Amino acid sequence: MLRTTHLALLVLLLGTSISQTVAIGYGKLCDLKPLGAGWDDTDQVESAISRCGKYGLTTLATGNYNITRKMTWDLSYSRVDLHGYLNFQPDIDYWMQNSSTYRVVNIQNQASWFIVTGNDFIIDAHNTGGIDGNGQPWWEYFTTVPRLDGDGRPISLTLSHVTRGVVQDFRIVSPPFWANTVSDSTDVVYDGMYVNATNTNATFAGQNIVPNTDGIDTYRAKNVQLLNWDITCGDDSIAIKGNSSNIAIKNLVVRGGNGIAFGSLGQYVQFNDLVENVSIENATLLRLPSSVQPNLNNGVYFKSFDGNSTGLPPTAGGGGGGYCRDITLKDFKLHNVSVPTQIYQSNDGHTGDTPSYLKFSNISYINWSGTTAGKALVKIACSANARCGGISF
């Protein structure tokens, strides 16, 4: 059943059209069951979304839906009940071909194998479904092959050019790369997101072989709510990237990884990165047993490239300006974090480089508690070209 809170939200989002939708119900209904082991479900899933993704209700029953190629859901005034898993097959050679993924996230040339776009929709996975990225073979493969930004490892779930969308009670297990991205979108709510990138091969116990498994990266996103998230990963649990504004994050549990990141910012010399009005409230960061995940590097950290443009994105860059301001970090509990918080402005930098042109300001830390694994509680190294201001503890 649709949550009352999200029904109320959708009423606000849809405006006057909600009365018509409620009155007539969904005009089209599509029901699916998985075909079973060894079968390809991509065609039937795409067909159902094509028929019922606009002004319709699509229901995918429990089980695994084997997905073998890139897929887009174009949704409008519709609902998808995803009780099972979209099971993306781990054919690494296939997925790493440029033609096998989309390149719609316009930062670092990142790849996506599943895009949701459109307006006024709800995707509800009921805490029983979502995406299985089958990441283990990916992680093991890249223990011997170099990892590079933009190399083709796919983002599991990409919301691109979405207006008024809700994703709730969704699970992403074993993502090969970033679990989520929201880009070029506005008025989006994620409520109830579970992400788990955990190595299960004892050969690699005590190593972080799951880097770049970010919980979510936001880019060119406005009015986004991230509510009730549980993230186990080997990198940034949340990464707020350029031109993200009015981002509200509440009730967050992070297990391992690099912590919560603002950045990296200032990578593109031709663009300013503008980040503002971000609030994070009620966050708990927990260190896992070292055999499972050795890292819990930060609570919250802010990072920008320096003022030199050295090389080209996606693997290098720098020299970009802009700001990151009006940030509220409230009610944090940290367990054995290496550095609770830091600001550094020399990402990928070199001795003698020009200081960063990106300014961090108006950052409020409210009611923090917990333990640290190191000696430093706070590390701040701001740029001489864009001095920090208004940081309060």
List, as one string, the DSSP characters of 173-227. Answer: ES-SS-SEEEEEEEEEEEEEEEEE-----GGGTTS---TT--SEEEEEEEEEEEE
Residue with the two structure tokens 């430093």: 376
Residue with the two structure tokens 């296939």: 94
Structure tokens at 373: 């694994």
Integer Cα distance of 176 and 231 in angstroms: 15
Residue with the two structure tokens 């909600």: 18
Residue with the two structure tokens 């019922």: 52
List, as one string, the DSSP characters of 312-328. Answer: -TTTSB---EEEEEEEE
Q: Which of 195, 255, 249 has the alpha carbon at shortest distance from 226?
A: 249
Q: Which of 89, 156, 59 has the alpha carbon at shortest distance from 116?
A: 156
154-155 and 110-112 as β-strands: parallel, antiparallel, unpaired? parallel
For the chain, the residue count is 393
Q: Which of 262, 281, 254 has the alpha carbon at shortest distance from 337?
A: 254
Q: Which residues have C-beta within 8 Å of that of residue 199, sequence separation ≥ 6? A: 136, 139, 205, 207, 209, 210, 292, 293
> Quick one: CA dihedral 320, 323, 327, 329, positive or negative?
positive
Active-site residues, by number, are 235
110-112 and 102-105 as β-strands: parallel, antiparallel, unpaired? antiparallel
Residue with the two structure tokens 């443009």: 309
Structure tokens at 374: 């190191």
* Amino acid identity at 335: H
Q: Which residues have C-beta within 8 Å of that of residue 210, sequence separation ≥ 6? A: 135, 139, 197, 198, 199, 233, 234, 235, 293
